[in-house]
Amino acid sequence: MKKNLRLLLLAFVMTLPVFANAQKVEFDNLQVNVVMPENENISESLLSSLQDRLYEAVSLNALGSIDASNRFVLLPVVNIVSKNATSSIPPQFVAEVEVALYFADNQEKTILSQTVITKKGMADSENKAVAKALKSVQARDKKIKRLFDEGKTNLAKYFVAHPDEAVIGTVKDNDVDWILEK
């Protein structure tokens, strides 16, 4: 009797991974495009450099990145919070920059997750201080990892609730202004 119970328990335990994976959504085909909005206060080369680091973050977080896809987007909104001169001689400038990141489903017009990363930079000019602050945003930042983890969790919940919509494709409309309006 005990032997049969052990065998039954062992058989049950061995089938648990099958049941656990039945509700798991795979993201092998999830392609995320980093969309950079225009920003008059920051040079195109700095924005391009930030975009490269964010594509690296997409890759590091087990998501595919492709320029042609725009269903799933990562939208960074850069805001210069402050630029101040120090009282030292020669004067130095300290810039504080916020990078708000939105991971969104552009087809469903849904923000899956969002975070804000604040960085400071110091240099001998205001522009160089802003550049140092932006260049300090790293692809391996823990906030970016949490952003993607939370976004994938929310996306998995959505796809489990709407299995017929789990087809991952592209969206013809490349407009992401709806994110900025929320």
Does the pLDDT of residue 109 top 60, yes or no? yes
Q: What integer pLDDT is reported at residue 18 of this predicted model?
A: 37
15-38, pLDDT tens digit by residue? Answer: 434 333 444 555 655 788 898 888
Does the pLDDT of residue 155 top 50, yes or no? yes
φ, ψ of residue 99 in degrees (nearest 5): -120, 105
How many other CB atoms are found less than 10 A from the CB of residue 91? 10
φ, ψ of residue 155 in degrees (nearest 5): -70, -40
Does the pLDDT of residue 87 top 60, yes or no? yes
More confident residue, 163 or 166: 163
| Mean of pLDDT values over 146-152 | 92
Q: What integer pLDDT is reported at residue 24 of this predicted model?
A: 52
Is the Cβ–Cβ distance between 105 and 71 less than 8 Å? yes
pLDDT band at 108 (very low <50, low <70, confident <90, very high): confident
Q: Which long-range contacts (CB under 8 A, 24 or more apart) does 44-47 make?
A: 46/130, 46/131, 46/134, 46/135, 47/78
Q: Which domains does the chain show, CATH number per domain? A: 28-181 (3.30.160)
More confident residue, 76 or 28: 76
Terminus-to-terminus CA distance in the chain, angstroms? Answer: 62
Q: What integer pLDDT is reported at residue 125 of this predicted model?
A: 92
